[in-house]
């Protein structure tokens, strides 16, 4: 029996120094499919036994976790000489992308949205921190890499924590070398920079860093070099949140400060308590936030006003100029009524013979004046206000189309004037300049 391919790769969506992420479909019986994400170890790293052991530890650990705010792991396998993990696909953005877009578009993440997102991260962490094995023994999981790239937010407002690749747990076969610092330097805890043993409170400190950055729209620990960044983390000198953002209430600022206490004993005793404190703060300050609000914010951030995509806007600009350069500029806009068909440019001539009337029913069928698909008000106004030397439109009541008298009854061909050609050239140049500007702005 021929082997059946279980996963069909669609596209690569991310790549790092150790692994690459693909969007794929899991294929089951009778053609049943499910969209998934596949994390695949880079082939050159499969010879590194220590890294492979760490990768398998991540898979082993993640299999224990099943929570609404943690990316779920479905499968682990090996193919073509390398290992891969099959996980839940989150259709959305990571928090780093959201933060960058907020800065670029000058649309800071609202206070209530920031607190809500991080409260959900706390719920996911609480599940991981408190997880026990099948025998009831604590796994003592510490994520150790809570940072914007590892916090995913779906388009529908779901928040999920991912990438336990650097996690510390009792179930791990591969132990951490003494004195080795793992994690992104800007999101380490002070005790991590000093090589001290870590527990769940290191993750709480990282949550405090991310929350601070969302509320203030700026980085907290970012030096000119890694050494300087680590030194900033070690000192843990935290600026006033409310000074940087007056919209932050005092109660929320105290939560941030407690999470960022240099002494782990002064932080929240658990991620669950910090998440609960954030939700109580939102309620007390009358700040409404939900998954729906997060979803709406993402729409405003990445798709403001439901505008067309960049490519669609370019297509519409070109189509508009083609219409303006054609003899059909006073006709029905493309696609505004059933059966509309654009005229092929190669079939159009630069001259036409006057016959007294233009039978538009030969071009656009069913354009009766009673239909809303006739002239737009603007075009009708332009038509009748002297922009073209023709008399007002005539609407025969006994016909299914309209016609308009031409300015001349002569049968001689009417060539395009020099002015028309110059204006047409200028219009084309304008489109080219506009396209170049949009490309430079959006790409």
In a domain, 36, yes or no: yes
Boundary of a domain, candidates 305, 326, 350:
305
In tens, the pLDDT along 76-106 reads: 888 888 889 999 999 999 999 999 999 999 9
Taking the C-alpha atoms of residue 258 and residue 211, their distance in angstroms, rounded to an integer, is: 12
The candidate with the shortest Cα–Cα distance to 243, out of 279, 268, 218, is 218
In a domain, 131, yes or no: yes
Q: Kindly report the average pLDDT of the chain as a whole number.
A: 77
- Same domain, residue pair 288 and 335: no
- Same domain, residue pair 357 and 436: yes
Range of the domain at 38: 7-88
- Beta bridge partner(s), residue 209: none
- Supply the pLDDT for residue 267: 97
**Taking a C-beta distance cutoff of 8 angstroms, is the pair 13, 91 a contact?**
no
- Supply the pLDDT for residue 443: 59
Which distant-in-sequence residues (6+ apart) come within 8 Å of 117 by Cβ? Answer: 95, 109, 151, 153, 159, 214, 294
- Same domain, residue pair 31 and 145: no
Boundary of a domain, candidates 55, 88, 121:
88
Contacts 24+ apart (CB under 8 A), 29-36: 35/89, 35/91, 36/7, 36/74, 36/86, 36/87, 36/88, 36/89
The residue that leads in pLDDT, 443 or 62, is 62
In tens, the pLDDT along 255-275 reads: 999 999 999 999 999 999 999
Q: Distances in Å between the alpha carbon of 100 and those of 68, 106, 122, 302, 414?
A: 26, 10, 22, 11, 57
Question: In the chain, what's the furthest Cα-to-Cα distance?
Answer: 98
3-class SS letters over 124-144: HHHHHHCCECCCCCECCCECC
- Supply the pLDDT for residue 417: 62
| Rg of the chain over all Cα atoms, to the nearest angstrom | 31
**Taking a C-beta distance cutoff of 8 angstroms, is the pair 325, 374 a contact?**
no
The residue-averaged pLDDT of 153-166 equals 90
Residue 284 pLDDT more than 90?
A: yes
Q: Distances in Å between the alpha carbon of 425 and those of 41, 75, 343, 436?
A: 55, 60, 21, 17
Burial of 135 from C-beta contacts in 10 A (0-12 / 13-18 / 19+): exposed
The residue-averaged pLDDT of 104-113 equals 94
The residue-averaged pLDDT of 181-202 equals 87
In a domain, 2, yes or no: no
The candidate with the shortest Cα–Cα distance to 244, out of 286, 222, 212, 285, is 212
Backbone angles phi, psi at 61, to 5 degrees: -70, -45
In tens, the pLDDT along 370-429 reads: 444 444 444 444 434 444 333 333 334 434 334 334 444 445 555 556 676 777 788 888
- Same domain, residue pair 332 and 392: yes
Q: How would you classify the pairing of strands 82-88 and 92-94?
A: unpaired
Q: What is the pTM of this model?
A: 0.67
Boundary of a domain, candidates 54, 88, 122:
88
In a domain, 270, yes or no: yes
- Same domain, residue pair 178 and 319: no
The residue-averaged pLDDT of 155-181 equals 67
Report, as residue numbers or ranges, the catalytic residues: 145
**Taking a C-beta distance cutoff of 8 angstroms, is the pair 41, 70 a contact?**
no
DSSP string, 231-259: HHHHHT-PPPHHHH-TTS-HHHHHHHHHH
Which distant-in-sequence residues (6+ apart) come within 8 Å of 122 by Cβ? Answer: 207, 271, 272, 274, 275, 278
The residue that leads in pLDDT, 48 or 123, is 123
Taking the C-alpha atoms of residue 192 and residue 129, their distance in angstroms, rounded to an integer, is: 18
In tens, the pLDDT along 359-370 reads: 444 444 444 444
Which of 163-167, 276-280, 312-316, 394-398 is least confident?
A: 394-398
The candidate with the shortest Cα–Cα distance to 275, out of 396, 395, 173, 161, is 161
The residue-averaged pLDDT of 7-13 equals 90
- Supply the pLDDT for residue 285: 95
In a domain, 230, yes or no: yes
The residue-averaged pLDDT of 115-127 equals 97
- Same domain, residue pair 263 and 206: yes
- Same domain, residue pair 226 and 325: no
- Supply the pLDDT for residue 259: 97
From the CB of residue 191, how many other CB atoms can be counted at a distance below 10 Å?
Answer: 19
Residue carrying structure tokens 């670029």: 104
- Same domain, residue pair 269 and 281: yes
- Same domain, residue pair 99 and 84: no
Residue 218 pLDDT more than 90?
A: yes
- Supply the pLDDT for residue 169: 52
In a domain, 1, yes or no: no
- Same domain, residue pair 324 and 280: no
Q: Of 65-79, 130-144, 149-163, 171-185, where does the model show the most confidence?
A: 149-163
The residue-averaged pLDDT of 235-259 equals 96
Q: Number of folded domains in the chain? A: 3
Taking the C-alpha atoms of residue 149 and residue 238, their distance in angstroms, rounded to an integer, is: 22
In a domain, 57, yes or no: yes
In a domain, 389, yes or no: yes
The residue-averaged pLDDT of 192-219 equals 94
Instruction: Give me the CATH number covering residue 236.
Output: 1.10.510.10
- Same domain, residue pair 220 and 119: yes
**Taking a C-beta distance cutoff of 8 angstroms, is the pair 85, 139 a contact?**
no
Residue carrying structure tokens 């408190």: 130
- Supply the pLDDT for residue 175: 47
Which distant-in-sequence residues (6+ apart) come within 8 Å of 148 by Cβ? Answer: 94, 95, 96, 98, 99, 210, 213
Taking the C-alpha atoms of residue 252 and residue 245, their distance in angstroms, rounded to an integer, is: 12
* 316 — pLDDT class (breaks 50, 70, 90): low
- Supply the pLDDT for residue 114: 97
- Same domain, residue pair 151 and 39: no
- Supply the pLDDT for residue 124: 96
H-helix or E-strand containing 151? strand 151-154
- Supply the pLDDT for residue 344: 41
Instruction: Give me the CATH number covering residue 20.
Output: 3.30.200.20
């Amino acid at each position: 029996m021929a082997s059946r391919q279980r996963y069909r790769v669609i596209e690569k969506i991310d790549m790092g120094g150790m692994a690459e992420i693909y969007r794929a479909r899991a294929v089951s019986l009778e053609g049943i499919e499910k969209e998934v994400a596949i994390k695949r170890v880079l082939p050159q790293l499969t010879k590194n036994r220590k890294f492979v052991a760490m990768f398998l530890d991540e898979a082993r650990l993640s299999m224990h976790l099943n929570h609404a705010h943690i990316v779920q792991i479905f499968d682990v396998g090996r193919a073509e000489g390398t290992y891969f993990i099959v996980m839940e696909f989150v259709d959305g953005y990571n928090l780093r992308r959201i933060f960058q877009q907020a800065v670029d578009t000058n649309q800071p993440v609202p206070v209530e949205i920031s607190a809500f997102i991080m409260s959900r991260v706390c719920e996911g962490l609480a599940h991981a921190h408190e997880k026990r094995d099948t025998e009831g023994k604590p796994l003592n999981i510490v994520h150790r890499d809570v940072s914007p790239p590892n916090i995913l937010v779906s388009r529908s407002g779901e928040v999920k924590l991912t990438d336990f690749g650097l996690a510390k747990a009792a179930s791990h076969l591969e132990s951490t070398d003494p004195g080795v610092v793992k994690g992104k330097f800007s999101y380490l805890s002070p005790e991590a920079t000093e090589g001290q043993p870590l527990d769940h409170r290191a993750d709480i400190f990282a949550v405090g860093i991310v929350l601070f950055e969302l509320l203030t729209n700026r980085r907290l620990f970012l030096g000119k070099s890694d050494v300087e960044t680590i030194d900033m983390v070690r000192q843990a000198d935290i600026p006033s949140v409310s000074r940087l953002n007056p919209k932050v209430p005092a109660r929320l600022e105290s939560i941030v400060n407690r999470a960022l206490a240099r002494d782990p004993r002064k932080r929240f005793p658990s991620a669950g308590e910090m998440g609960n404190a954030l939700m109580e703060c939102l309620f007390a300050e009358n700040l409404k936030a939900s998954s729906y609000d997060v979803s709406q914010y993402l729409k405003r951030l990445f798709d403001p006003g439901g505008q067309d995509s960049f490519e669609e806007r370019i297509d519409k600009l070109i189509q508009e100029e083609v219409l303006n350069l054609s003899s059909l500029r006073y006709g029905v806009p493309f696609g505004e009524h059933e059966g509309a068909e654009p005229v092929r440019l190669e079939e159009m001539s630069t001259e036409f013979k006057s016959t007294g009337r233009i039978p538009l029913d030969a071009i656009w069928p069913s354009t009766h004046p009673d239909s809303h698909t006739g002239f737009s008000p603007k075009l009708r106004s332009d038509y009748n206000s002297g922009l073209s030397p023709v008399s007002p439109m005539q609407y025969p009541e006994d016909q299914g189309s309209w016609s308009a008298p031409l300015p001349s009854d002569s049968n001689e061909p009417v060539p395009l004037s020099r002015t028309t050609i110059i204006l047409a050239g200028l219009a084309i140049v304008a489109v080219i300049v506009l396209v170049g500007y949009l490309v430079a702005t959006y790409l």
